[in-house]
């Protein structure tokens, strides 16, 4: 079976629904189809809060039918192949949908298979992830009786770069309340050399880590998880010969100051050049990559992400294809806040091309934002652009927040109560916020 639509959107997540809704607001009666087999649409930013038992998981879930904009043809199938040369998308049932304009908004693929042993260990026992099962995270935190609490993230790009540490700050609060914090060492192992890429935010977060007495270990690339023996194996991904970055003392392989902040003695094995941190619980962000559909589309950059112009979001390979959201190869953080600023650019450019007016001179500046929860009732809001400049939203002044790079309870209110409401009632309905 063949069908044709003027605009075809692959993906009914934040980006796909918002593009359709804003297009229909601007031009009612537009011929749009969304390809997505999912029954439910999730508000994933609240999953951090679900993992810390301060948000109801069921409230993060709405039916896809309820968020699908009126007037959109919903094709409830998975897209199996993009044939950009012939302006068509093949569906998993063998049908073909052709288009004049294609919007690729597939989101990101969670890929535990990229780390040896992780698929077997994920979401079982004391290994948890808010990215896949935040309810299990809460079970792990609730049942934790002390020892080494390891929080970690992969060397791949991930959605919401701040999420791996937000749950750690909430866990620290919870452990204090439940009386196990004095029997606990919290370790955050990250492949990067800094806690956050925006300087003013990093300064605040270093103070938070100092106050909470957390051991940060930098340049740690997770390569293997031994779920049975509860060991996470890391490659130290800074050249360890350069400048004597590692001092080996005994079997432990203690790391010098370049590699850690607030060093704590935890059990570490060394084997074949890898460092194995023993844990009593581990929360991780699993490795992530572009979905296979995107990787095999012929529309990607060398790293397998959708190759789009970072300002116009137009494909660098096909002028009638646009890409946004998590699968786009853009040098900024993959967040819903980024999508909020990307959508109007894509909508305007497609409308102009339909009217044969060429691409708009309005461009996306790389804006993204990470709401960094630093405890129950506290948050910092990192807003930044492609150049990692701190760019706070002037609207925060209306909430009486003068400096969002510092912890504030009003920012927590924004995260827990205001943003979800804006998301369901405005953003997904095509209202620009």
**pLDDT at residue 364 is higher than 80:** yes
Element (H, E) at 218: none
For residues 85-98, give the mean pLDDT: 98
CB 124 within 8 A of CB 281: no
The alpha carbon dihedral of 249, 255, 256, 257 has a sign of negative
Report residue 433 CA to chain centroid gap.
21
Do 299 and 235 share a structural domain? no
Are 185 and 299 in a shared domain? no
Evaluate if residue 74 carries a pLDDT over 50.
yes
**Helices assigned H by DSSP within 271-316:** 292-295
Looking at residue 255, its pLDDT comes to 55
Q: Does residue 371 carry a pLDDT above 80?
A: yes
Of 243, 264, 284, the residue that ends a domain is 284
d(CA 34, CA 103) in angstroms, rounded, equals: 9
Domain assignment of residue 413, yes or no: no
The pLDDT of residue 399 is 84
Task: For residues 184 and 80, state if they share a domain.
Answer: no
Q: What is the pLDDT of residue 256?
A: 60
pLDDT of residue 285: 98
* Residues 160 and 232 reside in one and the same domain: yes
For residue 170, give the CATH number of its domain.
3.50.50.60
Q: Is residue 416 part of a domain?
A: no
The answer to whether residues 272 and 162 belong to one domain is yes
Contacts by 85-94, CB closer than 8 A, 24 or more apart: 85/298, 87/320, 89/8, 89/10, 89/35, 91/35, 92/37
Could you tell me if 31 and 132 lie in one domain? no
- The answer to whether residue 243 scores a pLDDT higher than 70 is no
Active site members? 160, 370
Do 241 and 334 belong to one domain? no
**Distance in angstroms (rounded) separating the CA atoms of residues 257 and 407:** 27
Query: Do 237 and 191 contact (CB within 8 A), yes or no?
Result: yes
Domain boundary residue, one of 326, 344, 362: 362
Strands, DSSP E only, in 116-241? Answer: 127-128, 147-152, 184-189, 215-217, 220-226, 231-236
Q: What share of the chain is helix, strand, coil (3-state, %, to 5)?
A: 30, 30, 40
Residue 286 DSSP code? P
Domain with 41 in it: 2-108+290-362
Residue 274: inside a domain: yes
H/E element holding 29? none
Average pLDDT over residues 194-212: 96
pLDDT tens digits, 130-187:
999 999 999 999 999 999 999 999 999 999 999 999 999 999 999 999 999 999 999 9
Residue 151 sits in the same domain as residue 22: no
For residue 320, pLDDT beyond 50: yes
User: Is residue 119 located within the same domain as residue 75?
Assistant: no
- Same domain? For 312 and 270 the reply is no
Instruction: Please report, rounded to a whole number, the percentage of residues in the chain having pLDDT higher than 90.
Output: 91
Q: Using alpha carbons only, give the angle 59, 60, 64 rounded to the nearest 5 degrees.
A: 105
Asked if 263 and 172 sit in the same domain, the reply is yes
pLDDT digits (tens, 9 = 90+) for 268-279: 999 999 999 999
3-state secondary structure of 404: coil
Does any domain span residue 397? Answer: no
Structure tokens, 240: 């360890």
What mean pLDDT value characterizes the chain? 94
Task: Give the span between the Cα atoms of 160 and 191, in whole angstroms.
Answer: 16
Q: Which among 333, 362, 391 is the end of a domain?
A: 362
What is the tens place of the pLDDT at every residue in 321-337?
999 999 999 999 999 99
pLDDT at 259: 86
Report the C-alpha gap between 42 and 37 in whole angstroms.
14
- The candidate with the shortest Cα–Cα distance to 394, out of 386, 403, 385, 378, is 403
Query: Is the CB of residue 293 less than 8 Å from the CB of residue 79?
Result: yes
Per the CB < 8 A criterion, the answer to whether 354 and 6 are in contact is yes
Instruction: Say if residue 257's pLDDT is above 70.
Output: no
Inform me whether the pLDDT recorded for 248 exceeds 60. Answer: no
Is it the case that residue 402 has pLDDT exceeding 60?
yes
Residue 250 has pLDDT above 70, yes or no: no
279 and 296 in a single domain? The answer is no
164 assigned to some structural domain: yes
Please determine, for residue 247, whether its predicted confidence score (pLDDT) is greater than 90: no
Does residue 162 belong to any structural domain of this protein? yes
**Residue 295 scores a pLDDT above 60:** yes
Q: Domain count of the chain?
A: 2
User: Does residue 257 belong to any structural domain of this protein?
Assistant: yes
**pLDDT above 90: residue 245:** no
| Structural domain contains residue 374 | no
């Amino acid at each position: 079976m063949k069908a044709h639509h003027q605009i075809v959107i692959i993906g009914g997540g934040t980006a796909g629904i918002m593009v359709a809704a804003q297009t229909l607001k601007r031009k009612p009666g537009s011929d749009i189809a969304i390809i997505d087999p999912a029954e439910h649409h999730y508000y994933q930013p609240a999953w951090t809060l679900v993992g810390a038992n301060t948000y109801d998981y069921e409230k993060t879930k709405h039916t896809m039918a309820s968020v699908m904009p009126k007037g959109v043809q919903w094709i409830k199938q998975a897209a199996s192949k993009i044939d950009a040369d012939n302006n068509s998308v093949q569906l998993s049932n063998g049908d073909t949908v052709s288009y004049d304009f294609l919007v690729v908004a597939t989101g990101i693929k969670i890929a535990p298979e990229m780390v040896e042993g992780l698929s077997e260990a994920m979401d079982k026992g004391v290994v948890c992830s808010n990215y896949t099962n935040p309810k299990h995270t809460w079970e792990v935190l609730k049942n934790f009786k002390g020892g080494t609490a390891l929080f970690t993230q992969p060397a791949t790009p991930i959605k919401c770069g701040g999420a791996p540490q937000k749950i750690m700050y909430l866990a620290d609060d919870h452990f204090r309340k439940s009386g196990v914090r004095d029997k606990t060492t919290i370790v955050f192992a990250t492949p990067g050399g800094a806690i956050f890429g925006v300087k003013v935010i990093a300064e605040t977060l270093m103070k938070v880590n100092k106050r909470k007495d957390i051991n940060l270990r930098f340049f740690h690339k997770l390569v293997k998880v031994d779920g049975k023996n509860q060991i996470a194996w890391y490659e130290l991904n800074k050249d360890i010969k350069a400048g004597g970055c590692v001092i080996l003392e005994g079997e432990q392989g203690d790391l010098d100051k370049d590699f850690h902040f607030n060093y704590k003695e935890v059990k570490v094995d060394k084997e074949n050049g890898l460092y194995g941190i023993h844990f009593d619980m581990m929360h991780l962000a699993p490795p992530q990559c572009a979905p296979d559909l995107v990787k095999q589309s012929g529309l990607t950059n060398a790293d397998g992400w959708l190759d789009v112009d970072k300002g116009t979001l137009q494909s660098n390979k096909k002028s009638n294809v646009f890409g946004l959201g998590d699968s786009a190869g853009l040098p900024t953080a993959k967040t819903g806040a980024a999508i909020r600023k990307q959508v109007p650019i894509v909508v305007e450019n497609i409308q102009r091309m339909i009217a044969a007016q060429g691409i708009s001179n309005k461009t996306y500046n790389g804006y993204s934002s990470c709401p960094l929860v630093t405890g129950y009732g506290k948050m910092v809001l990192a807003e930044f652009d492609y150049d990692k400049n701190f760019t706070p939203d002037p609207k925060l002044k209306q909430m009486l927040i003068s400096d969002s790079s510092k912890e504030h309870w009003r920012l927590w209110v924004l995260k827990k109560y205001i943003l979800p409401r804006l998301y369901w009632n405005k953003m997904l309905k095509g209202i620009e916020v």
